[in-house]
Amino acid sequence: MRAPLPIRQVESCALRTILLRPGADLVGFRSALRRLVADGVPPERVTWSIGDAPGLFGDAASAPSTAAAVHLPKPVAGLIPMAVPHRDPERYALLHTLVRRVLAGERHLPEVASDPLVHRLNLMRRAVARDLHKMHAFLRFRRTEDADGERFVAWFEPDHHILAAAAPFFVDRFRALTWSILTPEGSAHWDGAALTFGPPGRREHLPAGDGFEAGWRDYYESTFNPARTNLKAMRAEMPRKYWRNMPETAAIPGLVRAAAARTAQMIERSPTMPAKRDPVRAVAAMADQDPKTLDALNAIIKRSESLVPGATQAVLGEGPVGATIAFVGEQPGDQEDRQGRPFVGPAGQLLVRAMADAGVDREASYLTNAVKHFKFEARGKRRIHQKPTAGEVSHYRWWLDRELDFVAPKLVVALGATAVLALTGKAIPVTRARGPFRFERLDNRQGFITVHPSYLLRLPDEAKAEAYAAFVDDLRRVAELGRELAA
């Protein structure tokens, strides 16, 4: 077990008073913390005070410090900047106590969530993180003109002292603009080159609404889904205190009042589809629509509900009709579901790289998946991929068959076991069938079986190079077969 760092005991019984600036004085706190640790001052002998005039007390944090830096475990170092902006007046004392205990030997204290000190500081961290999220999401700029030209100004009322922590986000997002953010505590200003902070602002200083606000409100109204109106969830995610600073919220009362009527109209216009929980009837209803083109088929897929749990949208195949080679994968992943395009996530990027190395023209190929929706399990904020079952693959087979009929490739490449199952109707091991293959279900069409690129990502580092080389070799054979069939 690692020995605790020696803590020098302070000899004097006198209290040490630390003066910090108002708000989130992260620099001052770190400077004071270095001196307190170097001098061995325990938390019970420190008084933390807030003021604008350094020097009123015996130990101002702004005074130059020659004390050595304090090396803290990563969880503690990451917690400090998230707790300092909190409004709790005891935050500095609590952080000092945490650091003291960690340096005294409790190295894993931040992991003990049941400890009262850790619990309280974690509540502060989460509150500040929520406040930062609200500022990032709900701050709205208005355009104005001043002596220096165009400027964008915003007003925000944070719950905590987060202006300095939040401002870099807006620098990254609006680097090309000149802007100011006004709050009751202070202001942040970006001139295109430097970020500066100034005195508090007032909401009355905010310019009147502009044309951009009207356009944003129109966009919000056009994307509002009346069928998913949930006032409780809306108020939880977008508290009313932010509404008066957000132009789109002026449209909410009218949109909510009209939600029921608009939902009824949407249902009346939409084609009748069976319930999601009966995939057999769902597929039969799709087949009854008898699409005549790939575009018509895709329109059916886009408006159909997912036949697997999860997914926000159907991810359609991509590539030219009449492509010589069609690649069939398993299902979209997280990034594919978000972007609505196939093979754009990590596995897709690896496939595109291997295609380039093998001489397969990505733009001339058709890429699709056996299952058109992303099946996943939510774990916190992460969406973890789940492999589709044989039944789910079977439900999507009608889509895949019609899709390949319209594209009419001369060569179909199955990427992984799920694609093989979809194309053959049988569970055939990829390792046994890897290479050229005839798909009897597709009128004995020429095919090729290889691994899915996600398989390569899961391999240990020492095995990846050899497996990638074998995958590229497979794609070279695919390219050769394609050229022969196109001749």
Domain with residue 288: its CATH number is: 3.40.470.10
Same domain, 342 and 306: yes
Reported residue count of the chain is 487
Q: Please tell me the predicted confidence (pLDDT) of residue 302.
A: 86
Per-residue pLDDT of the chain (487 residues; tens, 9 = 90+): 344 444 444 444 568 999 999 999 999 999 999 999 999 999 999 999 988 644 444 455 545 556 678 889 999 999 999 999 999 999 999 999 999 999 999 989 988 989 999 999 999 999 999 999 989 988 888 888 877 788 888 889 999 999 999 999 999 988 988 999 999 999 999 998 999 999 998 887 777 665 556 555 555 555 556 555 666 665 666 666 666 666 655 656 665 666 666 666 665 655 544 444 566 666 666 666 778 899 999 988 888 878 787 778 899 999 999 999 999 999 999 999 989 999 999 999 999 999 999 999 999 999 999 999 998 888 877 888 889 999 889 888 988 999 999 999 999 999 999 999 999 999 999 989 999 999 988 888 999 999 999 999 999 988 999 999 999 999 999 999 999 999 8
Same domain, 121 and 148: no
The token duo for 447 is 């095919």
Q: Residue 157 falls within a domain, yes or no?
A: yes
Positive/negative CA dihedral, 346, 348, 349, 351: positive
Q: Residue 29 falls within a domain, yes or no?
A: yes
Its domain, for residue 27, covers 16-133
Give the count of domains, the chain. 4
Q: Please tell me the predicted confidence (pLDDT) of residue 56.
A: 41
The token duo for 87 is 């409004």
Same domain, 239 and 182: no
Q: Residue 245 falls within a domain, yes or no?
A: yes
Q: Residue 181 falls within a domain, yes or no?
A: yes
Q: Which of 205, 224, 248 is the last residue of a domain?
A: 205
Q: Residue 11 falls within a domain, yes or no?
A: no
The token duo for 274 is 């069976």
Same domain, 194 and 236: no
What is the reported pTM? 0.48
Same domain, 453 and 355: yes
Q: Residue 3 falls within a domain, yes or no?
A: no
Same domain, 221 and 325: no
Same domain, 384 and 263: no
Same domain, 296 and 392: yes
Q: Which of 154, 187, 205 is the last residue of a domain?
A: 205
CA distance 161 to 23: 5
Same domain, 237 and 289: no
Same domain, 49 and 76: yes
Same domain, 221 and 83: no
Q: Residue 117 falls within a domain, yes or no?
A: yes
CA distance 253 to 261: 14
Q: Residue 347 falls within a domain, yes or no?
A: yes
